[in-house]
Structure 1
Amino acid sequence: MKFSKKNVIAIILGGGQGSRLYPLTESRSKPAVPIGGKYRLVDIPISNCINSDIFKIFVLTQFNSASLNTHIKNTFNFSILSQSFVDILAAEQTPGNATWFQGTADAVRQCMSHFLKHDFEYALILSGDQLYQMDFNEMLEAHINADAAISIATLPVNAKDAPEFGILKTNNESFIEAFIEKPDASLLPQWESEVSEEMHAKGKKYLASMGIYIFNRQLLENLMEDPETKDFGKEIIPQAVGKHKILSYQYEGYWTDIGNIESFFEANIGLTADIPEFNLFDNENKIFTRPRLLPPSKFRNSIINQSLISEGCIINAKEIKNSVIGIRSRIGDGTVIENCYVMGNDFYQDIDELNHESTINKIHVGIGENCFISNALIDKNVRIGNNVHISGGKHLENFSNELYSIKDGIIVIKKRAVLSDNFRIE
């Protein structure tokens, strides 16, 4: 059986409060968090859809959604002669419903009337805060060829990671026979599934749900009739096991759930590797984002090693290594940046503004002179003075105030924070 892009819709879940990514989610939703210096997290699932020729895409938003909505509106515009779209569906009160989205399934339920206006046979349901590159055509083909009612993308994981996921057990035809949410380590021997020889050799014998689903349209409509089920992972999928044909589609590529500050930081720093697991330099899997008319980045007396530098930067730093530097970043003379993600700025300051701020001893947007910054996330539009020393590491305890937070040894300088000359965190 063949399928076409015309009979598939994609539904991207915009996420909840994202408290584990605080303070990056203090004023934005998780999918709107900048990643890789120039992208937003939501660009990843949307780009995967576009690369898979799926052009009917809904993004469901709720919490701190203004910047996410603006980004999508300014980024994904198709021809007026095309039926393609990326539509934002915000949580809304209606005569039949007066509540916010109560979970992933409830979000889909509340928006079903909008989906049903379109002609589709399969609904591809995705998370808005994961980092991966996947050809959804292969998953759709597997779903159709297996005559499945539901398909779940699964990732082989080892015993150490398995308790952090929903774990699935499959039969020899890759259909799911049982499901357990975040199992205790003592139960794992009962939850091994058939995986490839390569994965088995690495000890990855357990299949974790990636939170990527395909539903046949009629079944999704039927499942959404029960208002008591609020979440796919906790209710819909466990209750469907044994009642419907649920296929496990094994994926062995790079995938990470951006669940907390540490995983977010590692994912960004990982982009600087010689051969990164997530490849931004891939002709077949482009990451689409907002086009910006920015000048090339400019450098003076700087040593740049193993780093990504985005457009429009003015860098006089002494050295930058193992770091991601975001758009419009300004870094002063003599400064050393190592193992950092600097998100950059939303605007430039012109010469007159810089001169005026200097006369009143106001710190400029960007990073000043003779600073040392290591193991840190610098959010957007931060003002860091001269001779500032920021040195993260596991020796630091978790902490938070109005200027910065420390989580798992990573120092996060909050959006628009101002750090005075000689400020120190070490």
Structure 2
Amino acid sequence: MVNDVLCVILGGGRGTRLYPLTKDRAKPAVPLFGKYRLIDIPISNCLNSGLNKIKILTQFNSESLNKHISRTYKFEAFSHGFIEVIAADQTMDRTDWFEGPADAVRKTLKHFNNPKIKYVCILSGDQLYKMDLRAFYDFHVQREAQVSVACNLIDPGEISSYGIMGTDEASKVGEFVEKPSQEDLVRHLRVMRGGRPKYLCSMGIYFFDKEALHELLSRSNKADFGKEIIPEAITDKAVYAYEFDGYWRDIGTIKSFYTENLLLTREDAPLDLFDEEWQLYTRSRSLPPAKYAAAQIENSIVADGSIVGEAAVRNSIIGLRSRIGKNAVIEDSIIMGADYYETAEEIRQQRRGTIPIGIGEDSVVRHAILDKNARVGRHVRIANEAGVQEHATPQYMIRDGIVIVYKNATIPDGTVI
């Protein structure tokens, strides 16, 4: 274990870009890949890298996140490791909330005062990647950096979505441009990789010397690392760019969340969940294996405890405890599953007008996300065949053309969306 590093995971703000998946939960607690949650990604990267001192900063809908952390991550008494959630609070001296990522760290610095901690690694809570943070740590220490920024290579057409770094031959950062609108503004920052022009973009993952972090945050009230703190640090601190050439995606929007989730159903999935040397950790559940009845499953992930009838499931993710009825068709969709099982008697209540959790017989779900505990009746068609881009009702919402059925929502028999 690396004992002089504290990892700080930013839980994010209101999660408006992921709404309605963040309607009743913190952004890091959004379900992922059928059985995980977003927060499991950065935590697993930390633990697989030998970093087991972790604090998670959050302030919105934190109950679900607290529950997941407390039920999932338990260390032995003598390991000296911990994972703690720090929610925004009001004190006698301060009554305001977190105003941004850097402000969240600033207002919780009092919790980072262990003298054995020399470095602080700051990570985002809404990204997909597998990264050995020990290599990043070694890079930071060997260069005697005060700030190190993890960077990924992107194509010129993507520059308007990221902060672009300019470095010298020793990887020292001399320029930082946040989300440039035109390539002409940063053409001089291009690097050639494999004979193609690329740009180094900030991944929003940083290593700080603890003293440098304290100084940078205490000398101003600036709220954002990418837009404000890092550009300011370049003027008088030793800032270096660590190049990470692996798969990395920001999934902070509904469209990116949907797309990157379903990429894992492909045979050549960009993120390997079957690597025993780099496990993705989550809460252990004593659920039975998935059960099928003459079902057709193609390029899909089906989580534990699911029961799939004589249905067709293609290019989809079926979450924990899902029930898929006879003759149902699920395509290009994310079914997040259920928090609990209904009894056989409760399911029989459908005959008396109550729709059970799951997807009913003869229903079709395409290009959709069904949140936890959704009740979809019989002969329902969720496909957005009209191509609506934005729409909202009490039971579902359409964002970027993707239908999202709310958590605990009920879609009556025969509904067409």
Query: Is the alpha carbon distance of 1:364 and 1:121 closer, same or farther for their aligned partners in structure 2, counting shifts above 3 Å?
Result: same
Which residue of 308, 325, 328 corresponds with 1:335? 328
2:392 paired residue number? 400
After TM superposition, give the deviation of residue 64 of structure 1 in Å. 1.1
Matched, 1:324 2:323: no
Distance 1:358 1:409 in 2: 31
Amino acid at match of 1:95: M
Secondary structure at 2:378 match in 1: coil
- Counterparts of 1:119-130 in structure 2, within 5 Å, are 119-130=116-127
1:149 paired residue number? 146
2:169 paired residue number? 172
Matched, 1:162 2:159: yes
C-alpha RMSD over aligned residues? 1.4
Which residue of 19, 23, 30 corresponds with 2:20? 23
1:250 paired residue number? 243
- Counterparts of 1:19-418 in structure 2, within 5 Å, are 19-117=16-114, 119-195=116-192, 197-198=193-194, 200-201=195-196, 203=197, 205-355=198-348, 357-392=349-384, 395-418=387-410
Amino acid at match of 2:139: A
Distance 2:6 2:217 in 1: 16
Distance 1:115 1:331 in 2: 48
Distance 1:230 1:395 in 2: 39
Amino acid at match of 1:333: K
* CA deviation map 1:169-188 (0-9, x unaligned): 11121111111111012434
Amino acid at match of 1:194: V
Q: Normalising by structure 1, what TM-score?
A: 0.95
Paired residues of 2:159 and 2:183 also in contact (CA < 8 A): no
Paired residues of 2:121 and 2:208 also in contact (CA < 8 A): yes
Distance 1:311 1:131 in 2: 22
Distance 2:385 2:170 in 1: 47
Query: Is the alpha carbon distance of 1:189 and 1:181 closer, same or farther for their aligned partners in structure 2, counting shifts above 3 Å?
Result: closer
Amino acid at match of 1:409: G
**Which consecutive unaligned segments of at least 5 residues does structure 1 have?**
none
Paired residues of 1:172 and 1:194 also in contact (CA < 8 A): no
Paired residues of 1:317 and 1:336 also in contact (CA < 8 A): no
Amino acid at match of 1:284: E
Aligned length: 417
Paired residues of 2:300 and 2:315 also in contact (CA < 8 A): yes
After TM superposition, give the deviation of residue 224 of structure 1 in Å. 2.3
Query: Is the alpha carbon distance of 1:118 and 1:84 closer, same or farther for their aligned partners in structure 2, counting shifts above 3 Å?
Result: farther
Amino acid at match of 2:32: I
Q: Normalising by structure 2, what TM-score?
A: 0.97
Query: Is the alpha carbon distance of 1:330 and 1:192 closer, same or farther for their aligned partners in structure 2, counting shifts above 3 Å?
Result: same
Secondary structure at 1:241 match in 2: helix
Q: Percent identity?
A: 42
Amino acid at match of 1:158: D
Distance 1:103 1:253 in 2: 28
Query: Is the alpha carbon distance of 1:350 and 1:5 closer, same or farther for their aligned partners in structure 2, counting shifts above 3 Å?
Result: same
Query: Is the alpha carbon distance of 1:394 and 1:277 closer, same or farther for their aligned partners in structure 2, counting shifts above 3 Å?
Result: farther
Distance 1:372 1:91 in 2: 42
Distance 2:385 2:75 in 1: 45
